Amino acid sequence: MTEENMMKCICGDCPTFKQSDMRDGTYCSMGKSEQKPEMAGCDCLSCAVYAEYELEGAYFCIHGAAD
């Protein structure tokens, strides 16, 4: 979790984020949201942080941080 990664984070533009009460971001690093959002589409795979760290999976806001 770095300021640089927070600046690259696209969680705020994600359909799941937009339809929920979530306020945070960078879920791939910080872990799942406490708000328990419903799946409404996932932008994780198009995120620069996802690509840079060669992450796997999606919906980190629901399932938790990347391993």
Q: What is the pLDDT of residues 5-35, one digit of tens each?
A: 999 999 999 999 999 988 889 999 999 999 9
Model-level pTM? 0.89
C-alpha R_g of the chain: 10
Rounded CA separation 48/51 (Å): 5
* 49: alpha, beta or left? (left if phi > 0; alpha if psi -120 to 50): alpha
% of the chain with per-residue pLDDT over 90: 87
pLDDT given at position 1:
79
Let me know if 49 is exposed, middle or buried by CB neighbors in 10 A (0-12, 13-18, 19+).
buried
Mean pLDDT of 45-59: 96
How far is Cα 63 from Cα 67, in angstroms, rounded to an integer? Answer: 11
